[in-house]
Structure 1
Amino acid sequence: MTERSQSSVGAARPYDDVDYQIGQDNIQIAGFDIHNPVFGISAVLILIFVIGTLMAPEAANTMLLGARNWTIDHFDWLFMAGGNLFVIFCLALIFLPASKVRIGGADAKPEFSTLSWFAMLFAAGMGIGLMFWSVAEPVAYFTDWYGTPLGVAANTAEAKSLALGATMFHWGLHPWAMYGIVGLSLAFFAYNKGLPLTVRSVFYPILGNRIWGPIGHTIDIIAVVATIFGLATSLGLGAQQAASGLAYLGLVENGISVQIGIIVFITVIAIMSVIRGLDGGVKVLSNINMGIALVLLLFVVFVGSISGFFVNLLDMFTSYAKNIVPLGNWVGREDETWFHGWTVFYWAWWISWSPFVGMFIARVSKGRTVREFMLAVLIIPTVVCGIWVTAFGGNALDQIQANVGELSDGLTEVPLAMFQMMDSLPLTSLISFLAIVLVLVFFVTSSDSGSLVIDGITAGGKEDAPVPQRVFWATMEGVIAATLLFGGGAQALGALQAGAVTAGLPFAIILILMCVSLYMGLSGDAKRLARAAQA
């Protein structure tokens, strides 16, 4: 094994027959340390997509929307069954003997405090999406903006309960289970088995040394493309929401130039963060995120009806528990339009994000046991998401029922929904501006953590790739989002999002196989722990 590949995989080599070939494929060019097949092919595919979309945004949008709709219509069963399987598998890991296995080995210690660890998990995984949808989604379900969950009659008490429960269904156990499987798999095979921190490594128990060949390259390329598409889409959509909020406050006039300016600002801050690395960049920003989010959350709870908040919270979790099985079913649904347009779309979207969020979770989770990992990644975020959805979405639904504010007229512009809800609260301008700041900081943490992940995959699993390489990927996210927004507008972003969702199909299969491989790996370590305990 060469010196370069040794630094890539670490000193541990529990698999004696591993070839550890991946480090030998790296090339050093102009300050970059790149894994040749993955970096080159990923960059070319992304370039082809951007150029093609700019040349024909309408055609690209039509083609990719068609691919997305075909994926959702024909493979709804795979996404739904897979989502349920992932939740059951993750919950089982909390109680199985493998729950005692420690990431990094028996003597490994956590690198980050529990609070900073959780802040980074949440900021990378959900923060920005909740800012965008925590108001718009329950309002859409309650008012029949695009169908209602389980065919319930709109604008009724039952519709309110199910609107909160269905929103929680999309932001609770299922997406975090997807992230948890990828995160635990990557962490276990990297830090317990000495393999590179890249997606292909997870499949060593199934594929053996074939992971170093074309199959492994393909898995990593899919992960890179899905991640960059998802991040660039979210960056563009987030710029639109921030610009809409600033325009709503009368601070700017919403337009392409303002949106691109926001993307440039986010990208510059993200570049500064990735240069500082995990401890000095992402961790600091994530802690700032959680502080601002807590202030905003407490304000919305206390200036609204506190008793109403707790009533809605109980209603939401009751509805979630009561309807998790029917919402997770895909056979004989009367609300096919709704569950295809929302649930299946969400599952494909979360799966396409799972390489990015999962690998980032893996990087910050060394030293935790499997049980600690799953409780922190699965249960705690579900509870926090529920509290957030209740505070913001529940408040919006109460306003609609009381015929108060703009939302009582129905959902008009999704990016404005949160600001329209806040317009009926005291200190509107201040809290709306705080929400915009939170949106921007959440996007910075998503961008810089995503850049670190893409950088690691395209460097063959190395965690210490050169700074210019980190800067390159952080810049690429901003360039793709700004270029598509300028050249093709909403249609180009729609095409990018459709491409990311379509990439969720092959990765859904990868996640199912990942469960098998992870179980095989953990079972061996659990048996060794049991034998050691008996000795």
Structure 2
Amino acid sequence: MSNKVPDKGRAEYNTSYKVGQDNIQFLGLDVLNPVFSTSAVLIFAFIIGSILFPADASSVLSGAKNWSINNFDWFFMVAGNIFVLFCLVLIALPLGKIRLGGTEAKAEHSTISWFSMLFAAGMGIGLMFWSVAEPVAYYTGWYGTPLDAVKNTPEAKDLAMGATMFHWGLHPWAIYAVVGLSLAFFAYNKGLPLTIRSAFYPLFGEKVWGVIGHVIDVIAVIATIFGLATSLGFGALQAAGGLHFLFDIPNTLTTQILVIVGVTAVAIISVARGLEGGVKLLSSINMIIAAGLAIFIVIVGHTGAIFMAVGSYFLSYVENIIPLSNWIGREDETFYHGWTVFYWAWWISWSPFVGMFIARVSRGRTVREFIIAVLLVPTAVSLVWMAIFGGSALEQVEMGVGELANGISDSSLAMFQMFAQLPLTGITSFVGIVLVLIFFVTSSDSGSLVIDGITAGGKTDAPMIQRVFWAILEGIIAIALLIGGGSEALGAIQAAAITIGLPFTLLMLIMCVSLWKGLHSDMHLYK
């Protein structure tokens, strides 16, 4: 990018670095060697260790995860609050007028397609998994209750709604927005490579092309590949559980592996087709199916109660966002550490992947448009989605209807157990499985694009075989972990990803300072 003629209205940095200048070519690959080789060695070392010694790996990495969460809970919480406030400030200030790509840059994707890709990559799969399980878990005290509410009481129900939205609302999307905006701005307005290290150029200067930058990018690659492989593995467990629930197909290792193979095969086709014919197409299809499923539940469910749930979720979110954001003197330690701090570390570990993908599809948007679309719109959509699915589930629990009334026994089956009390259970459950699988395909596809970009030194036109390589590797890792240690091995890699979230939280805070300096350097173009 920095070796191209700048667009009108772009203020490039004076750097001699050219995209791909340090890359090496071998076996049809075009990669930045220090990042590619170091990431590969560390990834395979972690995987082999987790497969050969799953119990030991789980113990060590879970200990590291728990140490990070228990000792730095305040750090995760403070950082999460800072990210939300930082984004809201950028919306309000004149800095929001700055356009990604220059004053005359045009948006490359329609608003609907753009939003669909943001949502599918960001947390579409998570909303399928947790929209039912999470509020029911909080209400029944499956693993602690928010703010120490007494379980199965009106107060617990109110807090279950507010806490669910707290975990899926402004805070996680602010984390994604900070990373995505930083990468998009420094790539499209400053002519730097579209890779994580570029966001630190205002602070470290030319040093970002050396060891400092290599370390930053390697951390991003490892966090991304571990997060994606873990989600793919756990997703296979959920999909296999759904197939067993719906069609009585045995939920065995073979079924789980076949699910991963199927998802990976579709992901390979999608990634080979590129952004337009792959992620963009699948994301649009998935959003249409998801909207149809939500509308169906509203129609066949208790419509009035669902509409009331939208207001209840919103009011509870507003009323409890400050108490839930607090990190001082919390008495609900099980809930606070086991849910909230865990979530913040998990979102941050995913932020390199989601943030870079958001940046890649957001050229031409203003800073204000970007943050509103990435922060406020998804929060509103999540609110409606949670009210429809979570509200329906809570009503079933209160009425003592179905298996959910007995509490959460298996979080992966919660959505299907809710569907079982609605008309056309078979159809809705099948649609739910399809949505889960397609969301996994879009996550794998977009993740492969991101990892490819980082390990190629910021190239967005690297050989297709590299994207295919990463898509295949994600599937292989997930299968190997399931075979080698099952959910225990997956848990170990998930713990590793969350542990990486701690140093990346510090990097994100530095990123905010860097972005602030960078945006101010462009303000003269908009006066």
- TM-score for the superposition, normalised by structure 1: 0.97
**Residue 201 in structure 1 maps to residue 186 in structure 2:** no
SS in 2 for 1:28: strand
Q: Deviations over 1:312-363 (max 9, x none)?
A: 1111110000000000000001101211100000000000000000000000
User: What is the aligned partner in structure 1 of residue 97 from structure 2?
Assistant: 100
Q: CA deviation at 1:529?
A: 1.4
Q: CA deviation at 1:15?
A: 4.3
Q: CA deviation at 1:21?
A: 5.4
User: What is the aligned partner in structure 2 of residue 29 from structure 1?
Assistant: 26
Counterpart of 1:139, as a letter, is V
Asked whether the equivalents of residues 12 and 189 of structure 2 are also in contact (C-alpha less than 8 Å), the reply is no
User: What is the aligned partner in structure 1 of residue 418 from structure 2?
Assistant: 421
User: What is the aligned partner in structure 2 of residue 268 from structure 1?
Assistant: 265
What CA distance in whole angstroms lies between the structure 1 residues aligned with 2:22 and 2:208?
13
**Residue 484 in structure 1 maps to residue 515 in structure 2:** no
**Residue 442 in structure 1 maps to residue 439 in structure 2:** yes
**Residue 411 in structure 1 maps to residue 408 in structure 2:** yes
Q: CA deviation at 1:19?
A: 2.7
Q: CA deviation at 1:283?
A: 0.4
Counterpart of 2:82, as a letter, is L
User: What is the aligned partner in structure 1 of residue 207 from structure 2?
Assistant: 210
Asked whether the equivalents of residues 22 and 212 of structure 1 are also in contact (C-alpha less than 8 Å), the reply is no
Asked whether the equivalents of residues 235 and 263 of structure 1 are also in contact (C-alpha less than 8 Å), the reply is yes
User: What is the aligned partner in structure 2 of residue 533 from structure 1?
Assistant: none
**Residue 295 in structure 1 maps to residue 292 in structure 2:** yes
Q: Deviations over 1:171-213 (max 9, x none)?
A: 0000000000000000000000000000000001000000011
Q: CA deviation at 1:251?
A: 4.2
1:231-246, aligned counterparts within 5 Å?
231-246=228-243
Instruction: Identify the match of residue 370 of structure 2 among 364, 367, 373.
Output: 373
Structure 1 unaligned regions, length at least 5: 531-535
1:130-141, aligned counterparts within 5 Å?
130-141=127-138
Asked whether the equivalents of residues 194 and 458 of structure 2 are also in contact (C-alpha less than 8 Å), the reply is yes
SS in 2 for 1:135: helix
Cα gap change, 1:85/1:196 in structure 2, threshold over 3 Å: closer, same or farther? same
Asked whether the equivalents of residues 117 and 364 of structure 1 are also in contact (C-alpha less than 8 Å), the reply is yes
Asked whether the equivalents of residues 79 and 508 of structure 1 are also in contact (C-alpha less than 8 Å), the reply is yes
Q: Deviations over 1:270-319 (max 9, x none)?
A: 01111111111110000011011001111111111111011111111100
Counterpart of 1:163, as a letter, is A
What CA distance in whole angstroms lies between the structure 1 residues aligned with 2:20 and 2:245?
51
Counterpart of 2:127, as a letter, is L
Q: CA deviation at 1:262?
A: 0.5
What CA distance in whole angstroms lies between the structure 2 residues aligned with 1:17 and 1:364?
25
What CA distance in whole angstroms lies between the structure 1 residues aligned with 2:13 and 2:154?
61
1:179-190, aligned counterparts within 5 Å?
179-190=176-187
User: What is the aligned partner in structure 1 of residue 247 from structure 2?
Assistant: 250
User: What is the aligned partner in structure 2 of residue 68 from structure 1?
Assistant: 65
SS in 2 for 1:34: strand
What CA distance in whole angstroms lies between the structure 2 residues aligned with 1:385 and 1:90?
18
Counterpart of 2:63, as a letter, is G
1:327-366, aligned counterparts within 5 Å?
327-366=324-363
What CA distance in whole angstroms lies between the structure 1 residues aligned with 2:525 and 2:322?
37
Instruction: Identify the match of residue 166 of structure 2 among 165, 169, 186.
Output: 169
- TM-score for the superposition, normalised by structure 2: 0.98
SS in 1 for 2:144: coil
Using the TM superposition, name which of 467-476 and 21-30 deviates more: 21-30
Runs of 4+ in 1 over 3 A off after TM superposition: 9-17
User: What is the aligned partner in structure 2 of residue 456 from structure 1?
Assistant: 453
Asked whether the equivalents of residues 238 and 412 of structure 2 are also in contact (C-alpha less than 8 Å), the reply is yes
Q: Deviations over 1:196-236 (max 9, x none)?
A: 00000000100000001111000000000000000000001
- CA-atom RMSD, angstroms? 1.3
Instruction: Identify the match of residue 52 of structure 2 among 46, 55, 61.
Output: 55
Using the TM superposition, name which of 497-506 and 246-255 deviates more: 246-255
What CA distance in whole angstroms lies between the structure 1 residues aligned with 2:89 and 2:277?
35
SS in 1 for 2:460: coil
**Residue 432 in structure 1 maps to residue 424 in structure 2:** no
Asked whether the equivalents of residues 162 and 319 of structure 1 are also in contact (C-alpha less than 8 Å), the reply is yes
SS in 2 for 1:23: coil
What CA distance in whole angstroms lies between the structure 1 residues aligned with 2:215 and 2:473?
21
Number of residue pairs matched by the alignment: 526
What CA distance in whole angstroms lies between the structure 1 residues aligned with 2:262 and 2:3?
38
What CA distance in whole angstroms lies between the structure 1 residues aligned with 2:444 and 2:482?
17
What CA distance in whole angstroms lies between the structure 2 residues aligned with 1:385 and 1:270?
25
Counterpart of 1:244, as a letter, is G
Q: CA deviation at 1:250?
A: 2.5
Instruction: Identify the match of residue 124 of structure 2 among 124, 127, 146.
Output: 127
Q: CA deviation at 1:409?
A: 0.8
Q: CA deviation at 1:487?
A: 1.1
SS in 1 for 2:20: helix
SS in 2 for 1:196: coil
Cα gap change, 1:15/1:368 in structure 2, threshold over 3 Å: closer, same or farther? closer
Q: CA deviation at 1:6?
A: 2.8
Q: CA deviation at 1:527?
A: 3.3
Q: CA deviation at 1:523?
A: 1.0
Asked whether the equivalents of residues 3 and 18 of structure 2 are also in contact (C-alpha less than 8 Å), the reply is no
**Residue 308 in structure 1 maps to residue 295 in structure 2:** no
What CA distance in whole angstroms lies between the structure 2 residues aligned with 1:462 and 1:67?
34
Asked whether the equivalents of residues 5 and 24 of structure 1 are also in contact (C-alpha less than 8 Å), the reply is no
User: What is the aligned partner in structure 1 of residue 398 from structure 2?
Assistant: 401
Q: CA deviation at 1:11?
A: 7.7
What CA distance in whole angstroms lies between the structure 1 residues aligned with 2:526 and 2:106?
18
What CA distance in whole angstroms lies between the structure 1 residues aligned with 2:477 and 2:6?
34
What CA distance in whole angstroms lies between the structure 1 residues aligned with 2:438 and 2:20?
35
Q: Deviations over 1:215-269 (max 9, x none)?
A: 1000000000000000000001111111000000124111110001000000011
Q: CA deviation at 1:35?
A: 0.3
Cα gap change, 1:431/1:10 in structure 2, threshold over 3 Å: closer, same or farther? farther
SS in 1 for 2:192: coil
Structure 2 unaligned regions, length at least 5: none
Counterpart of 2:341, as a letter, is V
Counterpart of 1:241, as a letter, is Q
